[in-house]
Each structure stands twice: as structure tokens, then as C-alpha cells.
Amino acid sequence: MTTSDIVAQGLRGKKGDVKSLLFEGALLLSLFISLLFLIILLVDVVGKGIGVLLDRGGSFLSSGLSSFAERAGVGQGIFGSLVMLIFVVLLAFPIGVASAIYLEEYAKDTKFNRFIDVNIRNLAGVPSIVFGLLGVAIFVLVLAPLTGGASYIAGGLTLAVLVLPIIIITSAEALRAVPDSIREAGFGVGATRWEVVRSHVLPVAAPGIFTGTVLSISRALGETAPLLLVGAVTGFVATGDASLGEQLQGPFATLPTTIFAWASEPDSDFRALTQAAIIVLLGVILTANAIAIFLRNRYERKW
């Protein structure tokens, strides 16, 4: 047998290689099953919950919590989630981006700065329920005169602290992706470090920072466990004619805690309500994520 025969045989063998086909098939199957679970989830939720949304529409979105299924709605949950969102945007976003700017643009490679960096990475891996314990111990008990105990403020602060490390890490990645030549060009024409950051680095890194922030906020919108620890209520929240300030110090519920409360109701009427509330939550979160990821992929620049 000549060498060319061996090569020819090898080439022929390649085409009908059953093992390779099986291997590729198994890989494709695992991707397919991963997606399938999520697709079944979406179909299951929409199938069971869309009826309530179609029947009750606006009244479901606006009414508050109630022990009667026909009167219960997600109004208070939506209000609570909006308040949480405001806390995250006002606190975690500026502090997070500022930390990222410090770590990427200003910090020298000292022990202290390395410690900050490692600390943030570890903080991002802490389970969310542990942040709930922080919330109970500090925001609910120690700061009770300020927050009013288990309140919107305590919940909002807990969520802001929870997503802070994620915002820092994603923003730092976006800043790191900006090539040094851009900074050097700025320094070359005599700009200060802050001028370079403000008018050269930040505009380029903005899409990445924006996407990271939106993903973090939608993570906060879906968080449930820490808020249960902080003391989200599962029953009706009577607001009466309390002022906004008093309300913020009062008992709270969010969309995900409402979902959990309904999921634990023994009354079977609440099952469709649970799924309807999930449609509302997923609608908001998945749309926000989709827009953010689409924008990032669109505007991401390779240098």
C-alpha cells in the first residue's frame, strides 16, 4: 500500500465516521435540551396565565394584594418594584460606575487596590440571600429610625448593595476594553486624567456600561429571597392617606415577592394569578435584557 492509498483511505473514512456524527449530535442535543427547558417554561407560563391577563387586563395590573383571587392584582407589586428600581439607579449605578473608574483609570497597582479588586469579585459571588441577612441586621434593625424597619427603604438599600458589585465588574470590563491609544492621544494634547476619562474613555465605554447596568437592574427586579428576609409582606398593604415619605418607611411588596406569595397560596384560584404575574415580570425583564444585549452587540467595537 502506498502512502497515497493510506491518505485516500483516511479521507474516505472521515466522511462516514459514525462516532463523530454521534458526538456532534450529542452536543447539539445538549444545546437543544437547555433551550427546550426554557421554552417549555415560557409556553407553560403563557398558557396558564394569559387567560387572567386577557379577562382582567387593566384591573389586574392596577389592583393591590388581596386574599380574594378575583380582586387581587399586581398593582402594589409593580409600585414596589418601581421603588426598588429607583433605589438601584440612584445608589448602585453612580457608586458602581465611580468605583469602576477608580479601579481602571486611577488606581495604582498597590496592595490596597488589589484588595479592593479581589473583594469586589468575592462580593459578586455571595449568594443573594446572604445580602438579605445584611439587610435584616443593618437596614431593618440598626437603621430602623431611618428606614422605618422592614420598609421600601430597607428593601431598596438591600437590592442596591446586592447589585453594586455586578455593576462595578461589568463597568470595569467596559472601561478595560477601551484601548490605551485613546487615552495616550488625550494625554498627548495636554488633557488631565479626568478630562481624558470624561471626554474620551467614558463615551467609548458607555454602551458596555449601559448594558451591564440594565442587566444588573433586571437582576434586582427579579430578586426575591433577600426581600423575603428583609420582610416583604405577603398580604394587603394598606396605605391609607400616608404621605410618600411615610409610605416609603412602611411595609412593602414587589412583583417577585407577590409571585412567591401567590405560589404558596393553597387556594387553586391563585395558580392562574401566579402565572399571570410571572408573564408581567418576565415581559419587563426579558424585554429589558433583550434590548440591552442587542444594543451591546450592535455597538460593540473591536479595536
Partner 1 sequence: MRTFQAAAVVSIVVSALIVFSLIGRAVSFVTEVDLSDLAAGGWFPRRSMFGLPTILTGSVIVAGIAMLVAAPLGLGAAIYLAEYARPRVRKVIKPVLEILAGIPSVVVGVFALSWISPQIIGRLSGDAGLFNMAAAGIGVGVLVTPLVASVAEDSFRAVPMSLREASYGLGAKKRSTTTKIVFPAAISGVVASIILGISRAIGETMVVLIVAGGTGGAEFSLNPFNAGQTMTGAMAALARGSDQVRGADQAFPSLFFVGLLLFLITLSLNVVSERYVRRVRQKY
The footprint of partner 1 on residues 238-297 (CB under 8 A) is 256, 259-260, 263-264, 271, 274-275, 278, 281-282, 285-286, 289-290, 293-294, 297
* C-beta closer to partner 1: residue 43 or 244: 43
Identity of the residue numbered 48: K
What's the DSSP call for residue 266? Answer: S
Minimum Å gap between C-beta 284 and partner 1 is 10
* C-beta closer to partner 1: residue 58 or 297: 297
Minimum Å gap between C-beta 179 and partner 1 is 18
* C-beta closer to partner 1: residue 101 or 248: 101
The CA distance from 129 to 225, in Å, is 6
- Where residue 231 falls (left for φ over 0; alpha for ψ -120 to 50; beta otherwise) is left
Minimum Å gap between C-beta 100 and partner 1 is 8
* C-beta closer to partner 1: residue 244 or 267: 267
Minimum Å gap between C-beta 132 and partner 1 is 7
Minimum Å gap between C-beta 185 and partner 1 is 21
- Among the listed ranges 71-79, 177-185, 228-236, 240-248, the one in contact with partner 1 (CB under 8 A) is 228-236
Instruction: Specify the DSSP element, H or E, that contains 100.
Output: helix 93-101
Q: How far is CA 276 from CA 24, 59, 65, 239, 253, in A?
A: 39, 13, 14, 24, 17
The CA distance from 129 to 135, in Å, is 10
The footprint of partner 1 on residues 1-60 (CB under 8 A) is 10, 14, 17, 19-20, 23-24, 26-31, 33-35, 37-38, 40-41, 44-45, 48
Place of cell 404575574: 277
Q: Closest Cα to residue 256, out of 135, 50, 78?
A: 78
Sign of CA dihedral 235, 56, 227, 89: negative
Cβ count near 50 (within 10 Å): 14
* C-beta closer to partner 1: residue 79 or 139: 139
Three-state secondary-structure class, residue 110: coil
Contact flag: residue 90 with partner 1 (CB under 8 A): no
What's the DSSP call for residue 88? Answer: I
Residue pair 147/249 in contact (Cβ under 8 Å)? The answer is yes
- Among the listed ranges 53-61, 64-72, 91-99, 240-248, the one in contact with partner 1 (CB under 8 A) is 91-99
Kindly determine how many residues on this chain lie close enough to bind partner 1 according to the rule CB under 8 A: 94
The footprint of partner 1 on residues 114-173 (CB under 8 A) is 115-116, 119-123, 125-134, 136-138, 140, 150, 161, 164-165, 168
